[in-house]
Chains A and B, each alone.
Chain A
Amino acid sequence: MLLESIKFILMGTYVTIAVIAVALPLGFIVGLLLALVRVYGGPFISRLTSIYSTVMRGVPPIVLLFLLFFVIAGSINLSPFLAGSLALGIISSAYQLEIFRGAILCVSSGQMIAARSIGMSRSKAVLYIILPQALRIAIPPWSNEVSTVIKDSSLVYALGVAEILRRSQFVAARTYKPMLAFSVAALIYFLMTFIANRFLDAVERKTRISAH
């Protein structure tokens, strides 16, 4: 009976990973694009992006989750899982925007000058010279963001999605063993962040540029 309960909670991991698998890449793509806009774009659009970043990072994720959920659910008929995951992705994009922006600014301006001086266009320089270096620099803070997304995925609980936490609650109610149920949930999350961080540490070590 106990084993089945734990298995039941564990199955929630698939859902959680699915949420992350939607949110993280979405945040990455949007965040990276916005970072490029913020650094290389004209003053007006750069300002706009800056406001986006300040607002999205200044409001609690759960509030944004609800807002985006109601907006998305109001216009298209999406499942709570999908709406929640997309919302988390949009929230993460603001944080990732700042991470990539910081990393791009870290790459010395000399690199751009050198690239232009051999005739590269601005966009090619960004794509082949700046970004590869920036992405490596971004790995440590990005690793942090991955942990954050893993933990924030628990927020979709509030939308009723049957992920780890909701299943733990179910088990807690059924078995009258809340301590065990929620500790299992905590352990699963801990293992996920732990593994993710270790993995990204290894990636960082393998791709180290000696100048940084």
Chain B
Amino acid sequence: MGDWMDILAKYLPYFIDGVIITIKLTLVGLALGAVIGMPAAIGRVYGSKWIRRLCVGYIELFRGTPILVQLFVVYFGFPELGITLSRMTSAYLVMALNSGAYQAEYFRGAIQAIGAGQMMAARSIGMSRLKAIRYIILPQALRLVIPAWSNEPISLLKASAVAFLIAVPDLMTQAKTIAARTYNPIGTYIIVAVIYLIVAFILTGILHFLEKRLKIPGLELEAQRT
């Protein structure tokens, strides 16, 4: 186990190749997940009966099943329906849909925390529901959601690790090869664990920075009082 320094030095380029893919998976999943999750949350809170049902169905399905199973369904199962996607595309798609469901719940929490009062005040000056959502509810929800949402990048980073089981060339796939070559699985995976921790640390740092930048004086307290 003491020679993990050597492993690191010798295989550094491979580790880096893997990390890049891992980070790509995480960031794309995060971004697409937000694009999917936000409308899903709005649909769930403000939608008509059928839109609500659709949103709840999507959210419960992707939060209630393992991401590994979701990956297998998309990568192995879809071709049977005539939709054949590459490993990377399958992984991106599943990451996006999975993250979207969790993000929808975060957004929903924030929207509901803003409270019915804000919607009422907006309607009372003649705003339509749509405008109220866009100009009053969402701007506040997006700021309120940040603490809870900041769990998601790290969650997604960890979730991405199973992608190697459909042979996506991420950090874990590289690790598998290196572990076999060096006959030192423990050393290899300890390095991998440390790399994940470092990436998580950097992500958290970026998030804290963003959180400070977007603060509105008194917003967090106010939203809890009214």
Interface string of B74-88 (1 = CB under 8 A from A): 001111110000000
Within 8 A of B (CB), among A93-145: none
Would B66 and A154 count as touching, CB distance under 8 A? yes
> Contact check: which of A55, A74, A165 meets B68 at CB < 8 Å?
A165
Which chain A residue has the least Cβ–Cβ distance from B163?
A: A62
Contacts of A147 in B (CB 8 A): 63-64
Would B197 and A55 count as touching, CB distance under 8 A? yes
How far apart are A174's CB and chain B's nearest CB, in angstroms?
Answer: 13
Contacts of B67 in A (CB 8 A): 151
How far apart are B158's CB and chain A's nearest CB, in angstroms?
Answer: 4
Within 8 A of B (CB), among A162-192: 165, 168-169, 172, 176-183, 185-186, 189-190
Q: A190 vs B77: C-alpha distance in the bound complex, in angstroms?
A: 17
Would B157 and A66 count as touching, CB distance under 8 A? no
Contact of A36 with B by CB under 8 A: no
> Contact check: which of A55, A61, A63, A152 meets B192 at CB < 8 Å?
A63
Would A189 and B64 count as touching, CB distance under 8 A? yes
Contacts of A172 in B (CB 8 A): 76-77
Grouping DSSP codes into helix (H, G, I), strand (E, B) and loop, the A interface class, with mixed when no group exceeds half, is helix
Q: A58 vs B203: C-alpha distance in the bound complex, in angstroms?
A: 12
> Contact check: which of A55, A59, A63, A189 meets B69 at CB < 8 Å?
A189
Would A152 and B66 count as touching, CB distance under 8 A? yes
The residue among B67, B189, B200 with the most chain A CB atoms within 10 A of its own CB is: B189
Contacts of B162 in A (CB 8 A): 60, 62, 155
How far apart are A75's CB and chain B's nearest CB, in angstroms?
Answer: 11
Within 8 A of A (CB), among B80-113: 80-81
Contact of B12 with A by CB under 8 A: no
> Contact check: which of B61, B72, B80, B201 meets A190 at CB < 8 Å?
B61
Would A178 and B80 count as touching, CB distance under 8 A? yes
> Contact check: which of B69, B77, B157, B201 meets A179 at CB < 8 Å?
B77
Q: A154 vs B192: C-alpha distance in the bound complex, in angstroms?
A: 21
Q: Tally of A-B residue pairs with Cβ under 8 A? A: 109
Contact of B210 with A by CB under 8 A: no
Q: A66 vs B193: C-alpha distance in the bound complex, in angstroms?
A: 11
Contact of B196 with A by CB under 8 A: yes
Would B197 and A157 count as touching, CB distance under 8 A? no
Q: A178-B80, A179-B73 are in contact. Are A154 and B189 (CB under 8 A)?
A: no
How far apart are B167's CB and chain A's nearest CB, in angstroms?
Answer: 13
A interface residue numbers (CB < 8 A to B): 55, 58-64, 66-67, 70-71, 74, 147, 151-155, 157-158, 165, 168-169, 172, 176-183, 185-186, 189-190, 193-194
Q: List 29 A-B contacts (CB under 8 A).
A: A58-B200, A59-B193, A59-B197, A60-B159, A60-B160, A60-B161, A62-B162, A63-B172, A66-B185, A70-B186, A70-B189, A147-B63, A151-B65, A152-B66, A153-B66, A154-B69, A165-B68, A169-B72, A172-B76, A176-B80, A178-B79, A179-B77, A181-B77, A182-B69, A185-B69, A185-B72, A186-B61, A186-B69, A190-B64
Q: Enumerate the 3 nearest inter-chain pairs by beta-carbon distance, A residue then B residue, closest first.
A: A60-B161, A179-B77, A154-B66
